[in-house]
């Protein structure tokens, strides 16, 4: 009797299984969605990090745009030149030289340099702190709660012991995520060729700026005078702004800066290895 039950259940379950698998096999043929095989091939080339640096929702959308011809082969900022070349090769078009952009943090006023005039006890993110103004007296400065580091998907940023974000130049792919996350817009994206930056966004008058931060731009105008080309650096709203169309990239304007807020080539030094090997060794 027991043997009978086993046989009956095996046969009936097997039968139902067989019937359903036939149905599924039929449905697979009948309801098949034709997808462009090129999308799959492009996805194999792309980094698949879905960082959004191309301005699209993810890598698949970017691949579709490439096939439709609405995206440039250099559109994938995370991929850089190699991927741009591979995409061009696959699509049979001529490759273009990709402009590599990197994030530059335009504030050097960390814990040591700035004056604090309040205590912030709210949620520890920059966006939340920016609602009330944060702790530092400077209202243009880095808030220091690492929204940018949080946003970076390529492990190319960290907060240093001075409470400021550091960008690793070898790891930054230029996806804009950190620049978008910063509520005070102190992170900007610049091509690698640019090396002269005013690391300050403070638009207060010189006397005010000087009191609240040791490394603020005090609008003294020395860099404007020292720039080899007239109009290479302009003073706009109490802030020296480098005009990259005109200004030659050398260290001439930085030499007389009293607060060392304008610097040349500062960022190139920082690679991931250089940063971590510079940290004091800790006992494990």
Partner 1 sequence: MSLKTFDHGIHPSYNKELTNHKKIEKANLPKKVVIPLQQHIGAPCKPLVKKGDAVAEGQKIGEASAFVTSPVHSSISGKVKDIEKLPYPGGGKVLSVIIEGDGTAKEWGNGGIGLDLESLTSETLRNIIKEMGIVGMGGAAFPTHVKLSPPKEKKIDAFILNGCECEPYLTSDHRIMVEEPENVVWGMKALMKAAGVENGFIGIEENKSDAIEALEKVTRGSNIKVMSLETKYPQGAEKMLIKAVVGRKVPVGKLPMDVGVVVNNVGTAVAVYGAVKYSKPLIERVVTISGNGVKEPKNLLVRIGTSFEDVLNQCGGITKHGEREVLNGGPMMGIAQTTLDVPVIKGTSGITVLAGKEIKPSTYQPCIRCGSCVEVCPVNLMPYKLGDLGRLYRLDELKAWGGLVCIECGCCSYTCPSKRPLLHWIRVGKIKVREKEKV
In the complex, which residues of this chain contact partner 1 (CB under 8 A)?
117-119, 121-123, 125, 127-128, 131-135, 137, 139, 203, 205
> Cα 46 to chain center, whole Å?
18
Name the minimum Å distance from CB 236 to partner 1: 13
Name the minimum Å distance from CB 150 to partner 1: 10
Cα–Cα distance for residue pair 69/66, rounded to 1 Å = 5
Sequence-distant (≥ 6) Cβ neighbours of residue 211 within 8 angstroms = 115, 137
Q: Cα-flanking dihedrals φ and ψ of residue 73, to 5°?
A: -65, -20
Q: Between 114 and 254, whose beta carbon lies closer to partner 1?
A: 114
Name the minimum Å distance from CB 120 to partner 1: 9
Name the minimum Å distance from CB 231 to partner 1: 25
Q: Between 201 and 254, whose beta carbon lies closer to partner 1?
A: 201
Q: Between 13 and 131, whose beta carbon lies closer to partner 1?
A: 131
Name the minimum Å distance from CB 237 to partner 1: 9
Report the half-sphere exposure of 61 (CA within 13 A, side-chain side): 10
Q: Between 127 and 270, whose beta carbon lies closer to partner 1?
A: 127
Cα–Cα distance for residue pair 176/189, rounded to 1 Å = 7
Q: Mapped to the 3 state alphabet, what secondary structure does 192-251 carry? A: CCCCEEECCCCCCCHHHHHHHECCCCCCCCHHHHHCCCCCCEEEECCEEEECCCCCCCCC
Contact 267, 169 (CB under 8 A): yes
Q: Between 40 and 185, whose beta carbon lies closer to partner 1?
A: 185
Q: Cα-flanking dihedrals φ and ψ of residue 278, to 5°?
A: -80, -15
Q: Between 123 and 273, whose beta carbon lies closer to partner 1?
A: 123
Name the minimum Å distance from CB 109 to partner 1: 15
């Amino acid at each position: 009797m027991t043997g009978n039950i086993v046989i009956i259940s095996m046969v009936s379950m097997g039968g139902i299984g067989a019937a359903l698998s036939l149905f599924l096999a039929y449905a697979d043929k009948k309801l098949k969605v034709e997808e462009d095989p090129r999308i799959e091939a492009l996805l194999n080339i792309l980094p698949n990090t879905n960082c959004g640096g191309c301005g699209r929702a993810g890598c698949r959308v970017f691949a579709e745009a490439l096939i439709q011809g609405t995206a440039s082969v250099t559109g994938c900022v995370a991929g850089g030149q190699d991927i741009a070349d591979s995409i061009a090769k696959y699509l049979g078009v001529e490759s273009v030289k990709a402009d590599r952009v990197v994030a530059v943090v335009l504030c050097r006023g960390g814990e040591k340099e700035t004056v604090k005039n309040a205590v912030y006890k709210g949620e520890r993110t920059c966006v939340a702190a920016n609602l009330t103004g944060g702790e530092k007296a400077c209202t243009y400065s880095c808030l220091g709660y690492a929204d940018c580091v949080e946003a970076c998907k390529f492990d190319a940023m960290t907060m240093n012991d001075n409470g400021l974000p550091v960008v690793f130049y070898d790891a930054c792919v230029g996806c804009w995520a950190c620049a978008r996350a910063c509520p005070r817009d102190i992170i900007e994206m610049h091509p690698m060729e640019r090396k002269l930056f005013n690391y300050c966004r403070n638009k207060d008058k010189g006397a005010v700026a000087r009191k609240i931060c040791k490394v603020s731009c005090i609008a003294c105008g020395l860099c404007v005078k020292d720039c080899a080309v007239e109009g290479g650096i302009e003073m706009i709203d109490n802030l020296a702004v480098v005009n990259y169309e005109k200004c030659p990239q050398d260290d001439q304007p930085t030499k007389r800066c009293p607060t060392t807020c304008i610097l040349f080539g500062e960022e190139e030094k920082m690679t991931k290895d250089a940063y971590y090997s510079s940290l004091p060794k800790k006992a494990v």
